[in-house]
Amino acid sequence: MGSVTLKSVAEAAGVSVSTVSNAYNKPDQLSAEVRLRILETAKELGYAGPNPAARSLRSQRARAIGLVFTERLSYAFSDPYSVGMLAGLAEVAEQFQTGLLLIPLSPFDPERPEQVEASAEAMRAAVIDGVLAYCLDIDHPAREIALDRGLRMVATDDQDPRMDGLVLIDERGAARQVGEHIRRLGHRSVGIVVDSKVDQAQVVEVDDVEHRTMSFSWARYDGFREGLGPDVRVQTVAPPGHNSVEAGRAAGAHLLDQRDRPSAIIAVSDVLALGVLDAMRQRGLEPGRDVSLCGFDDVPAAADAGLTTVRQPIAERGRIAGRMLLDPDYTERRIVLPTELVVRSSTGPATTPQTR
C-alpha cells in the first residue's frame, strides 16, 4: 500500500478532506458519530494523523511552551526549586491543553563557540509558542534567538526590558532581611556561600566584584551585605558545581575548618544551605548553637531541617508565568510576589567563637 493521506481517508470514509482535517484539528465542529467513523477508517488504513510539524506550520501554533535553563536536563527533576516552578507551570499548561518542552542549554561561554552554537541551534529548532527564561544569562544567545523568532518570553529576573512578562520577588530586599536577622543576633563574622556557574575544581574565595561573574545570585548577595552592615566581617566562597547539596557541603567544610570559623553562614539557596548543614553535622556542630545557618527559598526539606530561610511562592511563580504565556485574559506584565523570613532553629545568638 502506498502512503496514506488525508485524501485517502476522506475517500474511504465518504467525506471531504476538510472534514477529515476537522476530525483531528477541530473535533467540536463534527458530530461524534462522523468523527468516530473517520478515526476508525483512518486506523484501518494505517493513518496516524496529520504530521505535527506540518500542522504547526500551517496554524502558526505549536501548542507547546518551553522552559529554558542553563543546566543538565536532570536538574529540572532533582532541584527542589525547579521541581516546584515546573509543577506550577505544568498546571497552567494542562489547563490550556498545551505541551511543555524542557530546553536545557550550556551556560554562555564565548571561549567555547561549539557550545554556544549548540545552544543557539536548540533554540532555533524548538517547536514552541513561548518561552519561560529560567536562570538564563542576559547575554545568552538563546534570548536573542527567541526574540528574533517572535516568541513570547517571560523571565524570572528583571534584567531584560524586552520580556513580555516578568514574575519576580524582591531578591535584594528579602536577602536584606536575612542579613539584618543575623546582625541582630550579634554575629560579626559571617560566611556567605554563592552558587557558581563556572567550572572550577575546588572552593574559591571571591570578593565583591568577582562573585558577579561567577554567580546567578548577585542580588541576594548584595542584600545580605546590606543587612549585615559594614561592621560585620564577611568571607564569600563559591564552591565547585552549581547549586547542589554536594557544592554546599564543600563550601561548608571550607568555612568550618578554618582556625577562626565564622559564627554564622548564609547560603543563597536552601539546597546549598542543606549541604552546609551536612558539613556541620559531620563536625559535631549544632546549628543555631555552635554556628547559625540561613538559606533562601523554603524548599520542602528546609522545614524538616529546621532551617531559617526566606519563603517565596515557588509554584505560584510558575503558575503566573504560565498564565502570562498562555492566557489572553491575563494582562499583568510585571508581578512582584511577596516573601517572608521564616526563623527556625538553625539560627541563634552569637557565642564566643572557638579558635582551633
More confident residue, 293 or 106: 293
Q: Note the pLDDT tens digit of each residue in 331-346.
A: 999 999 999 999 999 9
Give the rounded distance of the alpha carbon of 97 from its chain centre. 22
Lowest mean pLDDT among 180-189, 214-223, 271-280, 340-349: 214-223
Q: Are 67 and 101 in contact (CB under 8 A)?
A: yes
Residue 57: inside a domain: no
If asked whether residues 183 and 307 sit together in one domain, one would say yes
pLDDT digits (tens, 9 = 90+) for 306-339: 999 999 999 999 999 999 999 999 999 999 999 9
289 and 199: one domain? yes
* Residue 298 shares a structural domain with residue 223: yes
Residues 245, 297, single domain; the answer is: yes
CB 310 within 8 A of CB 339: yes
Give the ranges where the chain is alpha helix by DSSP (H): 6-13, 17-25, 32-45, 52-59, 75-78, 80-95, 113-125, 141-148, 171-184, 210-214, 218-228, 245-256, 270-282, 300-304, 314-326
Q: Does 88 lie in the same domain as 175?
A: no
For the chain, the domain total comes to 3
303 and 175 fall within a common domain: yes
Q: pLDDT confidence of 57, banded at 50, 70, 90?
A: very low
**pLDDT at position 287, please?**
97
pLDDT in tens, 187-236: 999 999 998 766 667 888 887 766 565 556 889 999 999 999 999 999 99
Q: Does the residue 214 lie in any domain? A: yes
Which is more confidently placed, 3 or 286?
286
| pLDDT value at 110 more than 90 | no
Specify the higher pLDDT residue, 354 or 227.
227
Which residue type, as a one-letter code, is found at position 317?
R
pLDDT digits (tens, 9 = 90+) for 227-270: 999 999 999 999 987 789 999 999 999 999 999 999 999 999 99
Q: Which residue range is the domain that position 28 belongs to? A: 6-50
CATH assignment of the domain containing 328: 3.40.50.2300
Q: Within a domain: residue 345?
A: no
Confidence band for 186, pLDDT divided at 50, 70 and 90 = very high
> Quick check: 172 pLDDT over 80?
yes
Question: Is the domain of 109 the same as that of 193?
Answer: no
Are residues 185 and 290 both part of a single domain?
Answer: yes
**Higher-pLDDT residue of 233, 51:** 233
Reported as a pLDDT band with limits 50, 70 and 90, residue 2 is: low
| Per-residue pLDDT tens over the stretch 131-163 | 999 878 788 888 888 888 888 999 998 888 899
Do 234 and 132 share a structural domain?
A: no
Within a domain: 344: no
Give the CATH number for residue 40: 1.10.260.40
- pLDDT at position 1: 44
pLDDT-wise least confident of 64-68, 78-82, 113-117: 113-117
Residues 228 and 188 in one domain: yes
Exposed e or buried b for every residue in 25-62, given b needs 16+ CB within 10 A?
eeeeebeeebbebbbebbeeeebeebeeeebbeeeeeb
Query: Is the per-residue pLDDT at 274 higher than 50?
Result: yes
Q: Is residue 351 part of a domain?
A: no
Same domain membership, residue 222 and residue 105: no
* Amino acid (one-letter) located at 282: Q
Tell me the pLDDT band of 60, cut-offs 50, 70 and 90. Answer: low
Residue 251 shares a structural domain with residue 149 = no
